[in-house]
Amino acid sequence: MALVVQKYGGSSVSDVDAMRRVARRIVATRKAGNTVVVVVSAMGDTTDELLDQAAALTSDAPAREMDILLSAGERISMALLAMAVGELGVPARAYTGAQAGVLTDSKYGKASIVGVLPERVARSIQTGAVAIVAGFQGINEVEDTTTLGRGGSDTTAVALAAALNADVCEIYTDVDGLFTADPRIVPTAKRIESLSSEETLELAAHGAKILHLRAVEYARRFGVPLHVRSSFSDKTGTWIYDGRRQGAFVPSVVATQLDDVVAADIATPGSPATPASPASAITPASSASQGNSPAAAAPPSNPAGLDDGPSAAAVDTAHRNAIAARAQARPRPSAKEDHVEAPVISGIAHDRSQDKITLVGVPDVPGAAARIFAIVAGTDANIDMIVQDVSAEGTGLTNISFTCPSGDSATARAALESAREELGFRSLHFNPDIGILSLVGAGMRSNPGVSARLFGALSEAGVNIHMISTSEIRISVVVDDAALDEAVRAVHSAFGLDAQAAEAVVYGGTGR
């Protein structure tokens, strides 16, 4: 038996028939002897429809009320899915993010998780029920509903998996795992059997849509094994692991200690509680200090409105013991790369969500760049790539270009224009028609000639490069948006990533 957290995206629960299909998968996992917690997204395009309705009413919706509105989609999904699972003879309980103990800061629309206190979820699974949690949402310090931004359901699933010390977090989507490129652009893309968290972070940060960056970061920090697969098939997907390139790390520990939790439910109803440690949420700081084995949080005493049952403190003590035993027994892969002959390139990501801003005629003096990017930071804009030209001889002026998400570019431009006199630049050029291609692979560390092959492939395809950025395992280039698809296909072929026959099937059409 294992503790499994499963996350289902919007395309996986798009209608009633899809709900039934997902419910059958959940029940099959439960009947195989596993303890199951489910995180679910809003059905299909529900979130977009809610955004459209709000836009029809106001052009300046309050962020707090928008979070209340947008959280409704996941609440609908969790309730319907709990009903579908119940119809198959397995008890299921639905919980909002707040009820599941997902605690966040107060940045409405893009809140960050600051702690997880999954008492009610733990109580459900201890009694044999499936806990179904609304993804994408939590509650802040003033008890307002908050949403986590794009990819928030992925992050919810990983956070719960970390807090419960799950054996695996399964991310279900509408394709059979991660591929060497987007199969919508490269039909011959290959499925990646296993990938390091480091490579996955680079792919997610540069346009790969199957997993969200924040979820991968969270999983890496807390040692949560991820399995990305399709809810439309039974194919093995992609395992994301921490360290070795030798296949995937598939957890196989039997979590028999959870029987202690069930025994506590039966043996101690109404009896005095065994003393437990003070209540505390699972936070990055507290869990990080315990390495890759975060402990479950101690819940508070049973507050009004919760289900009647055994002492929360007694249940928590048993739950802590079970989690600690499972964490100690679980093998951890080495951080050492065991196979230096692994493929040089793991995959190619592309991103159309960035704009390019260029400041022309910036004084080439110490502190100029610092002032520019302090102003940009003040708008909460996230910057991806930065390039500064060599100062033109005799002018003392240079050009600085950077890319940022399309949603951030308008405020960044306005702030820079308002500070033109202070910054002393001559003009601001804006280009929204760009795309970013990123080549990712840990094998780059020990294989020369990767850059030459990349630039050679782009040259042969007639693709011009505007900007270049590199890391130890990534090379990114900015090209014209119109040339991006052709660039991806050319580079994919140049590095021998093409499969002989199409392997990818896009079941739902969205990739999420």
Q: CATH number of the domain at 191, please.
A: 3.40.1160.10
Q: What is the DSSP letter of 335?
A: S
Q: Rounded to the nearest 5 degrees, what angle is found at the Cα of 129, between the Cα atoms of 280 and 237?
A: 90
Give per-residue pLDDT as tens, 441-463: 887 877 788 999 999 999 999 99
Q: Helix count (H) and strand count (E) of the chain? A: 16, 20
pLDDT range class, residue 502, cuts 50, 70, 90 = low
pLDDT range class, residue 308, cuts 50, 70, 90 = very low
Query: Which of 433, 444, 435 lies closest to 475 in space, CA to CA?
Result: 444
Based on the fold, state whether residues 23 and 127 are members of the same structural domain: yes
Asked if the model's pLDDT at residue 270 lies above 70, the reply is no
Based on the fold, state whether residues 236 and 352 are members of the same structural domain: no
pLDDT of residue 503: 66
Asked which of 110-119, 147-156, 196-205, 296-305 is least confident by mean pLDDT, the reply is: 296-305
pLDDT of residue 232: 86
Within a domain: 13 = yes
By residue range, what is the domain housing residue 180?
3-244+251-261
> Would you call 449 helix, strand, or coil by DSSP?
coil
- CA dist 482 and 463 (Å) reads 10
Based on the fold, state whether residues 23 and 150 are members of the same structural domain: yes
Based on the fold, state whether residues 257 and 362 are members of the same structural domain: no
Based on the fold, state whether residues 20 and 139 are members of the same structural domain: yes
Burial class, 54, CB count within 10 angstroms (exposed 0-12 / middle 13-18 / buried 19+): middle
Within a domain: 41 = yes
Within a domain: 287 = no
Asked if the model's pLDDT at residue 356 lies above 80, the reply is yes
Domain end point (choices 211, 229, 261): 261
Within a domain: 76 = yes
The CATH number that applies at residue 468 is 3.30.2130.10
Based on the fold, state whether residues 236 and 364 are members of the same structural domain: no
Domain end point (choices 233, 261, 289): 261
Within a domain: 504 = no
Based on the fold, state whether residues 354 and 257 are members of the same structural domain: no
pLDDT range class, residue 301, cuts 50, 70, 90 = very low
Domain end point (choices 261, 290, 315): 261
The residues, ordered by sequence, that sit 6+ positions from 54 with a Cβ below 8 Å of its Cβ are: 61, 66, 69
Pairwise pLDDT comparison (287 vs 123), residue with the higher score: 123
Residues belonging to the binding site for ATP are 7-10, 173-174, 184
Query: Which of 160, 181, 180 lies closest to 171 in space, CA to CA?
Result: 160
Residues belonging to the binding site are 7-10, 47, 74, 173-174, 184
Pairwise pLDDT comparison (240 vs 331), residue with the higher score: 240
Residues belonging to the binding site for substrate are 47, 74
Which of 59-63, 279-283, 338-342: highest mean pLDDT?
A: 59-63
How many CA atoms does the CB half-sphere of 467 hold within 13 Å? 25
Within a domain: 302 = no
Q: What is the DSSP letter of 151?
A: T
Percent of the chain scoring above 70 in pLDDT:
78
Kindly report the pTM of this predicted structure.
Answer: 0.71
Asked if the model's pLDDT at residue 51 lies above 70, the reply is yes
> Would you call 27 helix, strand, or coil by DSSP?
helix
Within a domain: 505 = no
Based on the fold, state whether residues 61 and 207 are members of the same structural domain: yes
Asked which of 232-246, 410-424, 490-504 is least confident by mean pLDDT, the reply is: 232-246
- CA dist 113 and 132 (Å) reads 19
Based on the fold, state whether residues 256 and 355 are members of the same structural domain: no
Based on the fold, state whether residues 233 and 361 are members of the same structural domain: no
Within a domain: 341 = no
Distance of CA 173 to CAs 49, 228, 342, 388, 500, Å?
20, 7, 27, 40, 24
Question: What mean pLDDT is predicted for residues 431-440?
Answer: 95
pLDDT of residue 447: 78
Averaged pLDDT score across all residues of the chain: 80
pLDDT range class, residue 39, cuts 50, 70, 90 = very high
pLDDT of residue 391: 78
Based on the fold, state whether residues 256 and 353 are members of the same structural domain: no
Question: What mean pLDDT is predicted for residues 8-24?
Answer: 93
Domain count across the chain: 2
Asked if the model's pLDDT at residue 300 lies above 90, the reply is no
